[in-house]
Amino acid sequence: MKILGLFLAIILTFASAAFAQDLQVPQNAVAGEGASISTSGSGSATFYLTGPGTSLKRDFKRGETISLSADDLAYAGRYTAALDGGGAQSFFVTAAKPAKLNFMARPSRVPVAHPDVISGVVFVLDRNDNLITTPTTVNFQLGIAGSAPTTRPLQSKNGIAWIKAGSGNREGAAQFTASVGDISAKRVVQQVASDPCNLRMKAQADGKNIQLQTEPIKDCSGNAVPDGTIVTFSESAGGRGRSTVDARVKHGVARATLPSVPGATLTVASGVVLGNEIRWSGGQ
């Protein structure tokens, strides 16, 4: 009885091996390129191919070669070829050469002269959106018109390359580019003036009031802060109260009118940046 079981097992092993050899699947198939599967034996059979994005069923004559089109093998991954009478073989299709870069750049607006505020992530894809998992050099370039761009080549890992970069010193639309060979993807990062630097104001008597005006407000790199930036003027007169006015920057300067209180202290600030202080003597 044991001998019979062993005999049957050997027959089954040989039979399945024989069925498997009915199909010769491609060894180095590439996504988006055609391939062929050769068959052996005689008689009609039905061929099935399942894989990413594909499910084929075809009648054919054993011994013929089955052609698979570029569209049949559009996607990278594992494919299984099977025959209805038994027998199956699996094979892998790898991604083709880089053809697309899915480039995410964040944020779209950054203050100038800040380290590591811009991030770029690139997914390296072939023309059918398959992820190219073999390491690929991605060149990242960040620069503003009129100044030399910063370039950094980085190697992709598991299909992804990423970078963190600092913003430049000049405001304006910075071109953020990722490229692999002659394929590139471009994003624009708007660099805006940073916080005000050396905030200064002057005061002038105007009847019973004081006219306050800042000097042109710039950041530490010399870029004019955008109009609309809030500047706070304050007047502190000891026991006689305190007045505060929030003014918006217009044409590079901010203005405010406060009541004239002799002996009061006038201050100016924008965000966390403090400007100069004036002790008001009553317009003298």
Partner 1 sequence: MAIHKSSTRSTVILLAIVIVLASAAPSILRAFADEPGAGTIQISTTGAGPREVEETTQKAIERQYTAAWKNMTAALKDNRADLLDAAFVGSMRDQLARRIEQQKKSGTSTRYADGAHQVNVVFYSPEGTALELRDTTEIEQQTLDGSKVIHSEKVRQQYLVIFTLVEDRWKVRIMQALPTS
Q: Which residues bind partner 1 (CB under 8 A)?
A: 46, 48, 50, 52-57, 75-78, 80, 82, 84, 88, 90, 92, 94-95, 104, 106-107, 119, 121, 123, 128-131, 133, 157-160, 162, 164
Please identify, using beta-carbon distances, which residue of 33 and 129 lies nearer to partner 1. 129
Beta-carbon count within 10 A of 262 CB: 12
CB of 250 to partner 1, least distance (A): 33
- Residue among 211, 171, 188, 180 nearest 101 (CA): 180
- Determine the Cα–Cα distance for residues 199 and 231; give it in Å rounded to an integer: 10
CB of 94 to partner 1, least distance (A): 7
Please identify, using beta-carbon distances, which residue of 50 and 232 lies nearer to partner 1. 50
Q: In one letter, which amino acid is 220?
A: C
| Phi and psi angles of residue 91, each rounded to the nearest 5 degrees, phi first | -150, 160
Please identify, using beta-carbon distances, which residue of 85 and 262 lies nearer to partner 1. 85
CB of 262 to partner 1, least distance (A): 54
Structure tokens at 100: 């697309």
Please identify, using beta-carbon distances, which residue of 103 and 280 lies nearer to partner 1. 103
CB of 189 to partner 1, least distance (A): 13
Please identify, using beta-carbon distances, which residue of 123 and 140 lies nearer to partner 1. 123
Helix (H) / strand (E) containing 80 = strand 77-83
List C-alpha distances in Å: 100 to 105, 121, 131, 209: 16, 13, 10, 64
With a CB cutoff of 8 Å and minimum separation 6, the contacts of 140 are 120, 122, 151, 152, 153, 154, 161, 163, 165, 176, 177, 178
- Determine the Cα–Cα distance for residues 232 and 242; give it in Å rounded to an integer: 13
* Three-class DSSP category at 218: strand
CB of 133 to partner 1, least distance (A): 6
CB of 174 to partner 1, least distance (A): 17
CB of 221 to partner 1, least distance (A): 24
Please identify, using beta-carbon distances, which residue of 164 and 186 lies nearer to partner 1. 164
Please identify, using beta-carbon distances, which residue of 105 and 212 lies nearer to partner 1. 105
* Three-class DSSP category at 282: coil
Beta-carbon count within 10 A of 193 CB: 22
